[in-house]
Structure 1
Amino acid sequence: MDASSIRLEIGFNPHGGALPDAEQALADARAAVRAGTDPFSGVHRAAAAFRTAGWMAAVLFTEAIDACTPIAHIQTPVYDNALYALSYAVSMRNLRALTRSPSLFECYRALRIAAEGEGVHVGYETFAMAGRIVPNATLARIPERDLGAVRERYETALLGALRGGVEPLVRESALVELEWCASALAGPEPLDMWRLAGACLRVLRERGMQLSDDRRLLAGFNMLLADQAAGATRAPRELVRSAVALLWRASSPPSGNAATRAEYDALLRDYGVCVGQPASPVDTPETLWEEAAARDEVRSRIARGLTGDALEVDRTRYIGPLVVAAGAYEDFLATADASMVSLSDAGRLSSPSSADAAHASEAAFRMAAASAALGLGQVGLLADALALVWRMRARAVAGARMSSVSGVSSRAGDAALSQGTDALRGALLRIAAGIPPLPLDQAIAKLGELID
């Protein structure tokens, strides 16, 4: 892994919030390492800023750096490279790309192994899915004879996929066979594990088995066949998270096939991961008027004597350690207002229809996209969890045969949705006042209990 790889994977996000406190803290930690002194203070200050902003993958990264601090002067290149890699990633203000960067993950993996030894396993999903609620995936009932035949074909093809490194055609043929096996086992439920596995196998074939943990995932699907043969009706949670993480990474950058992209996006939403971006401004009369008004406002501030740093400060907003552009902040609040109206309207209904629930889910996903774009990580995670519950409720109300969502339409479901919506509203009120939101872990965990 080198810095150029991270530059390719993490582009600058002009709408994202900056974390100057974290950047300065990491710079101080690098200076301490080079001076032969203890980087402890800088690392912990950076971790505190990441935690307040809800950048959960960055929190994990700083924890791994902290675990390596005792050997920082023994493995100085690894340690200094990790500090630089994280500092560069944070300076790009791109929370989504930071989470999905395979190069940054490999750096994180190297830190964990250096701190705890060669026997440590670090899965990509730990980094990519940090703080996320992921629902259970189901396994359809397959006649024993049919399952045995598919299992035999899978195991034969698996050998070809794992051994085909020097023969790309052999590997591709094997992956096509594995895709067939997944399609033969897939059931009708939206959260069917083999439906998710089939999409992952297609991604592996498209990317030439070049993704993190691809071999482990193939082996996990093989073990899943054994579990299913033994009567399991749900897939192991770790395997589900691994599969969703792989698909989450594959959703960026978008590839050419629009139909395939739409299929992946829908699957990710089924598992509570928003992949969309807030709508880009278009040159409507309203937005052109707003741009003109913004220019006039800047001119008036200059006329009042604001120049240089003072003018820049006047055009920025502070949310705890997060510093955001005034325009992006106002756009976020406008999206938040509209989304909360939709969520509140659906929550007030005693028995929302499937269409009402689907509308609320889309509103929450929009809220998640806007939060992630601005850099409000934990707010985005809570919005994603709310969107997932509403999406599951929409299917439950429509009569979908999903045993895993039976509690979503219960009184407990109503209470969890109400509490989650209230927590999100409270967070947005604090953000509107320029105050960082309180920790949202409890609200996310309550929704997670409902989803389980």
Structure 2
Amino acid sequence: MDAHSIRFEIGFNPLGGALPDAEQAIADARAAVRTGADPFSGVHRAAAAFRSAGWMPAVLFTEAIDACSPIAHIQSRLYDGALADLAHAVAMRNLPALTRSASLFERYRSLRVAAEGEGVHVGYETFAMAGRVVPYATIAAVSDKDLSAVRTRYETALLGALRGGVERLVREAALIELEWCASALAGADPLDIWRLAGACMHLLREHGPQLPDDRRLLAGFNMLLADQAGGATRAPRELVRSAVALLWRASIPPSDTPERPVEYDGLLRDYGVAVGRPPSPVDSPETLWEQAATRDEIQSRIARGLTGEALAVDRSRFIGPLVVAAGAYEDFLATADASMAALGDASRLSSMRTSDAAQASEAAFRMAAASAALGLGQVGLLADALALSWRMRARALAEARESILASRIGDTALTLGTDALRGALLRIAAGIPPLPLDQSIATLQELIDSN
């Protein structure tokens, strides 16, 4: 994959937050490399800005660059190319697309290998899913006879899928067979691993493998068959993360058809991922609202007799290192108010109605999508974790089964998560970056795992 395809993968998001401190720090690091100086300072300042904004994949990327600093002048082309790609990605103000960029990940992989050696394994999910809560996936019970028959067919088809990269028809036929195997093993649980596997195989059949990890994922499902034969009832978490990462990577619609529904949106939500889409840069409701608000403010100032510099309207808002457009900021706060009103309703915790839990989940997903679009990375991860917790609670209530999520322990964890999200939003409203949310996210991960 051409690393420079990042310029086509990540489009400009006019409502996303800019990180000028990070952009300047990367520029300083590139200048240091070109002059033979140490890029250490610039790289570390960029990492600090990314960490404060919650851009977790960018933090990993800068850590990989830092690990390569001792060989920066030996591998100057790789090193400067990585800095250039990161600079371009940051300038696009599009955190969701940066997170899912396959070509940026390939550059990250190259950095890790250069720093640690050829033997290091670097998975796409490590980069794309950094800091994200993902639930376990279940394995439905299948008779030994049926499982054995499916394993034989899967292993035979797998060889065609792995070896048929050049011959499209061979690969396609093999993936059709693998997709059938997954459907034969899939159970009724929304979090059934073979349901997820079937979606991945269908996607690979339509678009073809794009990373080495895609083929590794198919081999991972083959190893899962051995685990299932041994009596396993849950899939390994890393396999689940890899599968979700593949679907998430493909969930961005082409820029020329933004109205197209997001593929696998429901399945991704089952695994706690609010897809969201970068807003259109032309005449979106938010930009029109911002233009109207600015025009009204200018007219108001003229009416008060202001001229010159006093007439200028400040159209930027600052959240620590993140700089956002005033209209996008106000729109985000309006979304946050509505979402927190739904999440903070105490009656929802005591309610045993599926609809109440589902509404809370949707409110949290809206909060997650809005946070990611603005560039508030860790806030979005916490909101996604809350949304997943509520979604799993809604499912348990619909199935009338006991669940930790619907217990007093679950109520406490959901309340703490909601309080942490509210505290983060209060700081954002005051222009202060949120405190680290790792502990709150980890608490929700424990709640989800215990279900």
In structure 2, do the counterparts of structure 1 residues 346 and 167 end up closer, same or farther at CA, with 3 Å as the change threshold? farther
Q: Quick one: distance in 1 between partners of 2:39 and 2:161?
A: 44
CA deviation profile, 1:71-93 (whole Å, cap 9, x unmatched): 11110000000011001100000
Given that 1:162 and 1:215 are in contact with CA atoms closer than 8 Å, whether structure 2 keeps it comes out as: yes
Given that 2:252 and 2:277 are in contact with CA atoms closer than 8 Å, whether structure 1 keeps it comes out as: no
Deviation at 1:252, TM superposition (A): 1.3
Q: Quick one: distance in 2 between partners of 1:210 and 1:39?
A: 32
**Partner amino acid, structure 2, of 1:11:** G
**Partner amino acid, structure 2, of 1:68:** C
After TM superposition, list the pairs within 5 Å mapping 1:264-343 onto structure 2.
264-277=264-277, 291-300=291-300, 304-305=306-307, 307=309, 311=312, 314-343=314-343
After TM superposition, list the pairs within 5 Å mapping 1:60-75 onto structure 2.
60-75=60-75
After TM superposition, list the pairs within 5 Å mapping 1:22-171 onto structure 2.
22-171=22-171
**Partner amino acid, structure 1, of 2:410:** G
Deviation at 1:410, TM superposition (A): 1.2
Q: Quick one: distance in 2 between partners of 1:379 and 1:7?
A: 26
In structure 2, do the counterparts of structure 1 residues 85 and 311 end up closer, same or farther at CA, with 3 Å as the change threshold? farther
TM-score normalized with structure 2 length:
0.93
Residue of structure 1 aligned with 2:403, choices 406, 410, 413: 406
Given that 1:346 and 1:356 are in contact with CA atoms closer than 8 Å, whether structure 2 keeps it comes out as: no
Does residue 433 of structure 2 align to residue 436 of structure 1? yes
Q: Quick one: distance in 1 between partners of 2:255 and 2:291?
A: 32
In the other structure, the counterpart of 1:223 is: 223
In structure 2, do the counterparts of structure 1 residues 204 and 90 end up closer, same or farther at CA, with 3 Å as the change threshold? same
Q: What is the total number of aligned residue pairs between the two structures?
A: 446
Residue of structure 2 aligned with 1:449, choices 439, 442, 446: 446
In structure 2, do the counterparts of structure 1 residues 171 and 398 end up closer, same or farther at CA, with 3 Å as the change threshold? same
In structure 2, do the counterparts of structure 1 residues 179 and 162 end up closer, same or farther at CA, with 3 Å as the change threshold? same
Given that 1:220 and 1:239 are in contact with CA atoms closer than 8 Å, whether structure 2 keeps it comes out as: yes
> Partner of 2:318: helix, strand, or coil?
strand
CA deviation profile, 1:152-211 (whole Å, cap 9, x unmatched): 000000011111123211110000000000000000001000000000001111112224
CA deviation profile, 1:91-124 (whole Å, cap 9, x unmatched): 0000000011111000000000000000011000
In structure 2, do the counterparts of structure 1 residues 30 and 367 end up closer, same or farther at CA, with 3 Å as the change threshold? same
In the other structure, the counterpart of 2:422 is: 425
TM-score normalized with structure 1 length:
0.93
- CA RMSD of superposed structures (Å): 2.6
> Partner of 2:15: helix, strand, or coil?
coil
CA deviation profile, 1:364-395 (whole Å, cap 9, x unmatched): 00000100000000000000000000000000
> Partner of 1:317: helix, strand, or coil?
strand
Given that 1:278 and 1:370 are in contact with CA atoms closer than 8 Å, whether structure 2 keeps it comes out as: no
After TM superposition, list the pairs within 5 Å mapping 1:189-228 onto structure 2.
189-228=189-228
**Partner amino acid, structure 2, of 1:86:** L
Deviation at 1:407, TM superposition (A): 1.3
Deviation at 1:240, TM superposition (A): 0.3
> Partner of 1:318: helix, strand, or coil?
strand
Deviation at 1:59, TM superposition (A): 0.3
In structure 2, do the counterparts of structure 1 residues 142 and 277 end up closer, same or farther at CA, with 3 Å as the change threshold? same
Q: Quick one: distance in 2 between partners of 1:284 and 1:204?
A: 33
After TM superposition, list the pairs within 5 Å mapping 1:6-17 onto structure 2.
6-17=6-17
In structure 2, do the counterparts of structure 1 residues 12 and 282 end up closer, same or farther at CA, with 3 Å as the change threshold? closer
**Partner amino acid, structure 2, of 1:360:** A
Q: Quick one: distance in 1 between partners of 2:134 and 2:175?
A: 26
**Higher mean displacement: 274-283 or 182-191:** 274-283
**Partner amino acid, structure 2, of 1:423:** A
CA deviation profile, 1:240-295 (whole Å, cap 9, x unmatched): 0000000000101259999x966611010000000134888999999978754431
In structure 2, do the counterparts of structure 1 residues 295 and 422 end up closer, same or farther at CA, with 3 Å as the change threshold? same
**Higher mean displacement: 343-352 or 440-449:** 343-352
Q: Which runs of 4+ in 1 moved over 6 A?
A: 255-258, 278-290
Q: Quick one: distance in 2 between partners of 1:415 and 1:64?
A: 38
In the other structure, the counterpart of 1:242 is: 242
Deviation at 1:307, TM superposition (A): 4.7
Q: Quick one: distance in 1 between partners of 2:263 and 2:400?
A: 19
In structure 2, do the counterparts of structure 1 residues 7 and 446 end up closer, same or farther at CA, with 3 Å as the change threshold? same
Q: Quick one: distance in 2 between partners of 1:71 and 1:334?
A: 48
In the other structure, the counterpart of 1:359 is: 359
CA deviation profile, 1:406-435 (whole Å, cap 9, x unmatched): 311111110000000000000000000000
Q: Quick one: distance in 2 between partners of 1:169 and 1:256?
A: 28
**Partner amino acid, structure 2, of 1:427:** A
Q: Quick one: distance in 1 between partners of 2:320 and 2:170?
A: 54
In structure 2, do the counterparts of structure 1 residues 406 and 19 end up closer, same or farther at CA, with 3 Å as the change threshold? same
Structure 2 residue runs of 5 or longer lacking an equivalent are none
